[in-house]
Structure 1
Amino acid sequence: MDATTQAFVTEIVSRRIAENWLYWLLFLAASFLAAFAGAYIKRRAENLATRDDFEELKRQLAQNTRVTEEIKAEIGHAEWKAREANSLRRIKVEELVRYVLEEQERTNSYFRESIVGKASEMNTSSADAACSIASLYFPNLRIPVYAFAQQVYVMVQDAAGIQYDVSMAISQGRLDDYRMHTEQAKLKFSDHCQALATLRAEVETVARAEMDALLYVER
């Protein structure tokens, strides 16, 4: 292309651009706005996505908190029930030992009174109560408590027989028979007392082990 032609083309292009400057200005403005709008929309979408994620996170956190509180409440209730159960069992151990001691004292007293023919009516309510507690709460105590109660029943039966023999000897004035019955009763009483004391000690040993186990669980 020669210099004349090149100059001609350059003049045409320059004149066209000059004549359409408004078009180019609008074109540049539109391009800027499009770029700005694109960036804004992208940022807006990111913000919306972030807000949705945050709301979902809050929902999950609230749900986890609720589940955690429910679990804590269930654990607390279970611990409370366990403590109440242990407390009840501790009370029952103490009651059982008290019943055994009461029955031992009452049975020995009844036997002594029977020897001289002055015994009143005897009941074994404390031994029966101890057997009930052992049966309901303490399987390990059933055998020693039942053995103790059986010894009580044997002593009461023997004492009733002794009281009858002694009373008959006194009422009929048979002094020799009275002396014989009382001497035999004293020997029986000694054997029975020793057996009853041994069985009571066995009950106390097992009861003490039960109490120690309960106290260890509470700690």
Structure 2
Amino acid sequence: MSETLIREIAEQILREEILLNWQFYLLVLAMMLIGTIASTFLASYIRKRAESYATKADLEQLILQLRATTEAAEEIKTAISHSDWSIREWKTLRRVKLEELVESVYAVRPWLKKEINACIFDDPMDSEENSPMWKIELISHLYFPELTGEINTLKQTYWIAAYGGFVFRKCCNLPELMSQSEK
């Protein structure tokens, strides 16, 4: 603003002419209206920026929480699936071993017949054929400890039958009887 304009405004204020000028009041009203609109816009803009900033901070925090939750869920899922896999594998192994145990139990009877015949008639047993009892005992101790009572009963019956033939042969003196019958 120039010095002459300032002087002129000051003189009008002293003469009280400016207070009666309607254009002055219109200018003041327009300035207030522009100031109100600008302050409203600026306040709205600042509020939106603050909300956006807060949302961004919250969103980053939510993303971190979601990532942590996802990792925890994956760890739990992995642990559960590993546990489930272990249980299934254990059940499968026990099923296979139970089949082997039952096969070995069924193999006891024919083996006992051969053992008794070998004891009574002095027939040599096939040296490669082993008693199925060792396999029964091994499988039952490793995989089926709950069957200990039943396996012990089977072992007692086995030993009574297996060595009953040997005792029968010795008691009846079968070697002498057989040699006499051959003469």
**Pair in the same fold by TM > 0.5:** yes
Residue 82 of structure 1, CA deviation: 0.1
1:153 aligns to 2:153 (yes or no): no
Q: Residue 128 of structure 1 contacts residue 149 of structure 1 at CA under 8 Å; is this kept in 2?
A: no
What's 1:100 paired with?
105
What's 1:66 paired with?
71
Q: Secondary structure at the match of 1:120?
A: coil
Deviates more, 1:122-131 or 1:42-51: 122-131
Give TM-score, length-normalised by structure 1. Answer: 0.63
Residue 20 of structure 1, CA deviation: 8.1
| Equivalent-residue separation in structure 2 for 1:28 and 1:113 (angstroms) | 123
Residue 22 of structure 1, CA deviation: 6.1
Work out which of the two has the higher radius of gyration on C-alpha atoms and give 1 or 2: 2
Rate the CA distance shift 1:147–1:124 in 2: closer, same or farther, 3 A. Answer: farther
Q: Residue 100 of structure 1 contacts residue 126 of structure 1 at CA under 8 Å; is this kept in 2?
A: yes
| Equivalent-residue separation in structure 2 for 1:114 and 1:67 (angstroms) | 68
Q: For structure 1, list consecutive stretches of 5 or more residues without a partner in the other structure.
A: 1-8, 179-219
What's 1:79 paired with?
84
Q: For structure 2, list consecutive stretches of 5 or more residues without a partner in the other structure.
A: 1-14
What's 2:52 paired with?
47
What's 1:33 paired with?
38
Q: Residue 100 of structure 1 contacts residue 130 of structure 1 at CA under 8 Å; is this kept in 2?
A: yes
Larger relative contact order, structure 1 or 2 (CA cutoff 8 Å, min sep 6): 1
Query: Runs in 1 of length 4+ with deviation above 4 angstroms?
Result: 9-12, 19-28, 121-124
| Equivalent-residue separation in structure 2 for 1:101 and 1:72 (angstroms) | 43
CA RMSD of aligned residues (A): 3.0
Q: Residue 110 of structure 1 contacts residue 119 of structure 1 at CA under 8 Å; is this kept in 2?
A: no
| Equivalent-residue separation in structure 2 for 1:143 and 1:12 (angstroms) | 120
What's 2:147 paired with?
141
Aligned residues: 165
Residue 54 of structure 1 aligns to which amino acid in structure 2? L
| Equivalent-residue separation in structure 2 for 1:39 and 1:120 (angstroms) | 104
What's 2:5 paired with?
none
Give TM-score, length-normalised by structure 2. Answer: 0.74
